Amino acid sequence: MDSFVITEVQESRYDRHHLIDWWEQNTLKGSKVLVAGAGALGNEVLKNLALLGVGNITVIDFDTVSVTNLTRSVLFRESDIGLPKVEVARQRVLEINPEIQIQAIHSDLEFGLGIGDVRAHDVIIGCLDSVNARYCINQLAYRAGIPWINGGIGVAEGEVSFFDPNTEAACYECSISNQMWERRNQRYSCQGLKRNIPDVAMPTTAPA
Ligand SMILES: [Zn+2]
């Protein structure tokens, strides 16, 4: 009786990526990305970095999950309400892709990150919702000497800009208008401390 061997073809997670001839999966695996903000935009960015197989992610956000986040945050569930956004996001990212590393920092980015922490990354992706948070990330990026991508979303529009301290091009701070400075300064006293003024809810939907 003739014997025969069935050769099982093992598929791997990134097989469809490898079919793209210019794709470098190992570059993504070795990349270190700092995601500032785990809100609506941060959720989308973290989900996509996990799907792509970006090997090392750090996410920083001071906030906790609220019921109003559930219309536009793919990583959050009703059972997560009250928990730190970064911790929930970290767990969901690892469910999407257990092959990557993700570190969660539950802190205000103004005080929770040192220059050394920032310098350990290749790029920062800003998923922020205020001029001051963007100003802080811009300062950190330029001190650490790494580029950053600034994302912003409105009701039906989005904005992306790129800032690189290794070029002579304008930085984010250069683009802040007098009106934006005024808005930013309303949140600060002479000592630079946050004034106790209520947050204004912004109209938003799920980012596409
Ligand atoms: Zn500048």
Q: pLDDT digit string (tens) for 135-152? A: 999 999 999 999 999 999
Instruction: Tell me the whole-structure pTM to 2 decimals.
Output: 0.90
pLDDT per position as a tens digit, 95-135: 999 999 999 999 998 889 999 999 999 999 999 999 999 99
User: In the numeric block, which tokens belong to residue 111?
Assistant: 């005080």
Distance 7 CA to ligand 1 centre (A): 60
Q: How confident is the model at residue 83 (pLDDT cuts 50, 70, 90)?
A: very high
Q: Is the pLDDT of residue 156 over 90?
A: no
Higher-pLDDT residue of 207 and 76 is: 76
pLDDT tens-digit series, residues 19-62: 999 999 999 999 999 999 999 999 999 999 999 999 999 999 99
Give the pLDDT confidence score for residue 187 in this predicted structure: 74
Q: Is 91 helix (H, G, I), strand (E, B) or coil?
A: helix
Write down the residue that tokens 């990134």 correspond to: 14
What band does 185 get if pLDDT is binned at 50, 70 and 90? confident
Structural domain boundaries of the chain? 23-186
Q: Write the burial class of residue 201 (CB in 10 Å: 0-12 exposed, 13-18 middle, 19+ buried).
A: exposed
Rounded distance from Cα 131 to ligand 1 centre (Å): 14
Centre of ligand 1 from the C-alpha of residue 196, in Å:
29
| pLDDT value of position 3 | 64
- According to the CATH classification, is domain 23-186 in 3.30.1130.10? no
List CB contacts of 45: < 8 A, sequence separation 6 or more. 35, 125, 127, 151
Residue 196 confidence (pLDDT): 61
CA of 132 to the centre of ligand 1 (A): 14
Tell me the C-alpha distance between 129 and 16, whole Å.
Answer: 35
Q: How far is the CA of 124 from the centre of ligand 1 (A)?
A: 17
Give the Å distance between the CA of 116 and the centre of ligand 1: 21
